[in-house]
Structure 1
Amino acid sequence: MKKWRRRLFKTFIFGAVAVLLLLVTGLIYQQVSTRQDQKTFIPPGKLYSIHGDNMHLYTGGQGDATVVLASGWGTADPYVDYYPLYEKLAPYTKFAVYDRFGYGYSDMTDKKRDVDTVADELHELLEISGQKPPYVLVGHSLGSLETLRFAQKYPDEVQGIVMLDGGSPEYYANDTDDIASVIGGFMNQFRIKTGLFRLTLQSNAVVEASNANRNGLTFVPDELKKIDTTALLLNYGNANTVDELREMTANAKVVVDNKKPFPFPLTILTADYFGASEPIWDKTQAEFTSWSKQSKQITIKDTEHYIHQYHPDLVANEILELVKK
């Protein structure tokens, strides 16, 4: 009996030491790899100090109006994600792709991710960087909330709004999914901090699967695809993006409470999810038109959530229609 207990104890100690070594190795692997990624992750645009932290803005094109592109939640690198779209826009209009704090090449911030703060940060970024209204605002997914709040606070600077499968404030105000607890939860953060998430992304099959709802980034050059993966490794699950999810319902209610139909055009582009969309989403997308006196809603066939990765030509045409008005 004593020998059995000694063996059991030794086995337990060996297992505990092995697990501890694996954890330490994973932590070191994650930290060293992160530092290496940061050295190669060079901003393609410019950094501007906003409230003491650096925000990234990538601009191009030509014309009188500027198309301001707001990414959806969790889009690690908006510069890469919007590539197929701003390449279509550049010959006809100016564009500006911005990274919220915690995204792309922007810093992390300790400021709460409430919708007023985010909208004001964008406004200051556009002013400091020398952008001039009128703006055509484009919001993808959860980016709809800051886009609408910006328009509510600075209506004289807005020429029109285009939503790319952007959720309506009413939809987000009633969303009961607690995604923040999953993304910011212990198990997911453990996976990130110990390098397990990084290890999974060494597999091309995993990377391809993660890009499946973005049409496999078909219209994105290979070198930018690599940058996108690096951005995901650096930004996924950080505190700012998790806080955005925690604030989602409250942010939506702020926008709803200040609802007043806009006098400028609003175009709602809705993905058909290859015929698998949800009834509640479709209903709220149709009702989203109530946010403007000049609105229309179009369902884009053969698309997933990232419409601009499937049919950038169609999206660009709808945006340019508002630019010309």
Structure 2
Amino acid sequence: MRKWARRLGKIVVFGVLAIALLIGAGAIYEQASIRNDMKSYTPSGKLYKVHGENMHVYTGGQGDVTVVMVSGWGTASPYVDFSPLYERLAPHVKFAVYDRFGYGYSDTTDKKRDIDTITDEIHDALKAAGQKPPYLLAAHSLGALETIRYAQKYPDEVQGIVMIDGGSPEYYNIDSEALQSSFLNTLLIKTGVIRMLYQSDGVIESSRATRNGLKYVPDDLIRIDQIASMLTLDNANIKGEFQQAQTNAKIVLDAKQPFSFPLTILTADYFGVSEELWTKSQAAFTSWSLQPKQIVVKDAEHYVHQYQPDLVAEEILSLAKR
């Protein structure tokens, strides 16, 4: 009996040591991979000091109007995500794509992700980058909240807004399950397990499925997107935005007053399987402007600009010409 007990004890000890070695090796692999990624992960635009941290803004194009592109929640690289749009817009208008803190090439910040802080950061980043209004704001998903708040705080700088399947403040002003980072999830990230999974073609394809497989994105930018996705895993700023969404939506709602400028709502048809609550909220979103317009975009999912970039660019340019 004692022999079995000693043998079992040895097995447990060796098992614990083996697990510890695997975790240690995984952590070393993850850190080495991050260092290797950072060697090639250089800003595509420029970094500007905003509220004590570096914020990335990528600009280009020509014209009198500047289209400011506002990414959705969790979109690791706005620079990559909006590439199908700014390539089509550049010959006609100027554009600016910014990375909120915690995204893309921008630093992270310790400041709370409340809507007014985020909006002020955007305003100061555009100013630091030498951008001048009037702005035409093009916002995707949760980016709708900071876009509307920007227009509320700086109405004289906004010529119009295009929502790219952007959620209304009414939609976000509902109870939502808080985004939590479990110990297991953090462990899988820190020990390189998630990174190793992303070496599988199947996992990569699955992760890009809602973005149309990045069909309209060049291969070199797809590589940047993959690096950004790895570097922003378990990001506190990104999680903070989600956790603040309802509170931020209420702040925007409390200041509601229909805008005098045009507001175009581009709503994905989700290939015929859209949620009823989302569909109704999109139709009601037109109440935010005295010059509203809604278009249901066929054959598209949430990242409409990855499915129908020509249509989205056309609607943006139609407002830019006003």
Equivalent in the alignment of 1:3: 3
Q: Is 1:222 the counterpart of 2:187 in the alignment?
A: no
Give runs of aligned pairs for residues 271-282 of structure 1, distance below 5 A. Answer: 271-282=268-279
**In structure 1, which of residues 271, 275, 287 is the aligned counterpart of residue 284 of structure 2?**
287
The separation in 2 between residues aligned to 1:66 and 1:186, in whole angstroms, is 43
Equivalent in the alignment of 2:205: 208
Q: Residue 188 of structure 1: CA displacement? A: 1.7
The separation in 1 between residues aligned to 2:290 and 2:242, in whole angstroms, is 30
**In structure 1, which of residues 247, 251, 256 is the aligned counterpart of residue 253 of structure 2?**
256
Equivalent in the alignment of 1:315: 312
TM-score by length of 2: 0.99
Q: Residue 19 of structure 1: CA displacement? A: 0.6
The answer as to whether partners of 1:141 and 1:167 remain within 8 angstroms in 2 is: yes
* Structure 2: runs of 5+ lacking an equivalent: none
Structure 1's consecutive aligned runs of 4 or more residues displaced over 6 angstroms after TM superposition are none
Q: Is 1:300 the counterpart of 2:315 in the alignment?
A: no
Cα RMSD, aligned residues only: 0.8
The answer as to whether partners of 1:59 and 1:97 remain within 8 angstroms in 2 is: yes
The answer as to whether partners of 1:74 and 1:236 remain within 8 angstroms in 2 is: no
The separation in 2 between residues aligned to 1:291 and 1:148, in whole angstroms, is 9
Equivalent in the alignment of 2:23: 23
**In structure 1, which of residues 193, 198, 207 is the aligned counterpart of residue 195 of structure 2?**
198
Q: Residue 272 of structure 1: CA displacement? A: 0.8
For residue 44 of structure 1, give the secondary structure of its aligned residue in structure 2.
coil
Q: Deviations over 1:216-275 (max 9, x none)?
A: 011111111111101101112211101111111111111111111011010010111111
* Structure 1: runs of 5+ lacking an equivalent: none
The separation in 1 between residues aligned to 2:36 and 2:274, in whole angstroms, is 40
Equivalent in the alignment of 1:143: 143
The separation in 2 between residues aligned to 1:185 and 1:317, in whole angstroms, is 43
The separation in 1 between residues aligned to 2:68 and 2:281, in whole angstroms, is 24
Tell me the amino acid that sits aligned with residue 72 of structure 2.
Answer: G
The answer as to whether partners of 1:69 and 1:139 remain within 8 angstroms in 2 is: yes
When the two structures are aligned, how many residues end up with a matched partner?
322
The separation in 1 between residues aligned to 2:8 and 2:285, in whole angstroms, is 64
Q: Residue 171 of structure 1: CA displacement? A: 0.7
TM-score by length of 1: 0.98
The answer as to whether partners of 1:308 and 1:315 remain within 8 angstroms in 2 is: yes
The separation in 2 between residues aligned to 1:13 and 1:277, in whole angstroms, is 53
Q: Percent identity?
A: 63
The separation in 2 between residues aligned to 1:135 and 1:124, in whole angstroms, is 14
Equivalent in the alignment of 1:128: 128
